[in-house]
């Protein structure tokens, strides 16, 4: 069975056309439309996963997909799918301690079926609009504007999105492309995973590894900035910032272990090359020092 999925970074900007002086309303999110198909093709469904950051969006989606593959459709079981438990498993101990603003929202047929934390209410509106015209997400913007007009508000909605991950898996091969924002530029890398002797390439595992890379690169940047701030004596050795850095280092080690396990299981080819978290730390240190020197001439 083939699985295709795309992770988007999204930004919606709502401007009140009758009150030009009002600040625009901005709603940001990471969104993944998760296709759920049985091997025989006799059932097909789509779940929308939104979350505060990219790696949580992917991890929650992988939890849902794994359950579907092992236990079938989510909403017709004798024992309903436990979204809350899956979300809890998606969040590492580091995430729970360091990211108190984390959130997720899960949609099915335009209706929210689970949420955690606080997400922007406009995201619920856009999902309802998309459900009215499935298969053409861009049209949801126009439908949303008409809804506001019917409520007596003239608004202009602009939409910006960037692809963060593209995934395509078949039983014998998986292809993943990732786009991430480094300290000074946006970079892209791809990897191909193939079975070594037997078994199959799991889209669940591929999503998990994409999540590990995206989270690891984010943590490596934070670690590098904290290192240079410590070197500049902007923070103290035993401060809460350094405790956070040390927690991030432990989490980064966990992610490296997860990636190595995946590498041992499949034949991997990277293009242009596999990103190294240690290099990202060094790049972040250099970038922070350059910014600091520029602002303190």
Note the pLDDT tens digit of each residue in 78-117. Answer: 888 999 999 999 999 999 999 999 999 999 999 999 999 9
Cα 85 from Cα 89, distance rounded (Å)? 6
Note the residue count of the chain.
Answer: 297
pLDDT value, residue 155? 87
Q: Residue 205 pLDDT > 90, yes or no?
A: yes
Q: Residue 47 pLDDT > 80, yes or no?
A: yes
Residues 6+ apart with CB under 8 A from 22: 15, 16
Cα 32 from Cα 164, distance rounded (Å)? 10
The band of 150, judged by pLDDT with boundaries at 50, 70 and 90, is confident
In Å, how far are 3, 26, 113, 197, 224 from 84, measured between CA atoms?
25, 27, 11, 37, 34
Q: How many CB atoms lie within 10 A of CB 234?
A: 13
Average pLDDT, the chain: 92
- When mean pLDDT is compared across 74-83, 115-124, 203-212, 288-297, the lowest value belongs to 288-297
pLDDT value, residue 210? 97
Percentage of the chain lying above the pLDDT 90 cut: 74
Give strand pairing partners of 174: 169, 193
The band of 289, judged by pLDDT with boundaries at 50, 70 and 90, is very high
pLDDT value, residue 149? 84
The band of 265, judged by pLDDT with boundaries at 50, 70 and 90, is very high
Q: Residue 39 pLDDT > 80, yes or no?
A: no
Q: What is the DSSP letter of 81?
A: -
pLDDT value, residue 288? 93
Residues 6+ apart with CB under 8 A from 247: 94, 97, 98
pLDDT value, residue 40? 73
pLDDT value, residue 153? 81
Helix (H) or strand (E) holding 234: none
Where does 232-276 have alpha helices with state H? Answer: 240-265
CB 290 within 8 A of CB 228: no
Of 31, 44, 59, nearest in space to 130 by CA: 31
Where does 102-239 have alpha helices with state H? Answer: 122-132, 139-150, 203-231
The band of 259, judged by pLDDT with boundaries at 50, 70 and 90, is very high
pLDDT value, residue 67? 95
Cα 241 from Cα 232, distance rounded (Å)? 14
Cα 1 from Cα 171, distance rounded (Å)? 7
Q: What mean pLDDT is predicted for residues 121-138?
A: 89
pLDDT value, residue 26? 95
Q: Residue 19 pLDDT > 80, yes or no?
A: no
If one compares 21 and 104, the residue with the highest pLDDT of the two is 104
Question: Is the full-model pTM beyond 0.85?
Answer: yes
């Amino acid at each position: 069975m083939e699985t295709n999925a795309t992770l988007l970074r999204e930004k919606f900007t709502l401007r009140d056309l009758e009150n030009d002086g009002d600040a625009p309303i901005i709603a940001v999110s990471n969104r993944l439309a998760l296709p759920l198909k049985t091997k025989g093709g006799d059932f097909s469904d789509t779940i929308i996963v939104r979350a505060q950051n990219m790696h949580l969006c992917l991890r929650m989606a992988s939890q849902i997909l794994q359950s579907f593959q092992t236990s079938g459709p989510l909403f017709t079981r004798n024992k309903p799918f436990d979204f809350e438990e899956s979300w809890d498993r998606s969040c590492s101990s580091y995430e729970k301690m360091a990211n108190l603003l984390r959130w997720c929202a899960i949609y099915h047929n335009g209706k929210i079926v689970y949420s955690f934390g606080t997400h922007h209410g406009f995201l619920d509106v856009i999902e309802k609009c998309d459900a009215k015209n499935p298969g053409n997400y861009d049209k949801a913007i126009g439908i949303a504007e008409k809804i506001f007009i019917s409520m007596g508000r003239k608004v202009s909605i602009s939409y910006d999105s960037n692809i963060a991950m593209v995934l395509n898996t078949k039983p014998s091969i998986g292809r993943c492309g990732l786009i991430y924002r480094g300290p000074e530029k946006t970079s892209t890398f791809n990897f191909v995973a193939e079975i070594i002797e037997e078994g199959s390439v799991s889209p669940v595992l591929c999503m998990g590894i994409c999540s590990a890379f995206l989270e690891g690169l984010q943590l490596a940047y934070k670690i590098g900035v904290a290192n240079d701030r410590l070197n500049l004596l902007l923070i103290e050795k035993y401060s809460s910032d350094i405790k956070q850095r040390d927690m991030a280092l432990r989490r980064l080690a966990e992610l490296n272990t997860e990636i190595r396990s995946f590498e041992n299981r499949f034949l991997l080819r990277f293009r242009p090359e596999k990103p190294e978290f240690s290099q990202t730390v060094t790049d972040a240190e250099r970038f922070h020092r350059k910014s600091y020197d520029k602002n303190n001439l």
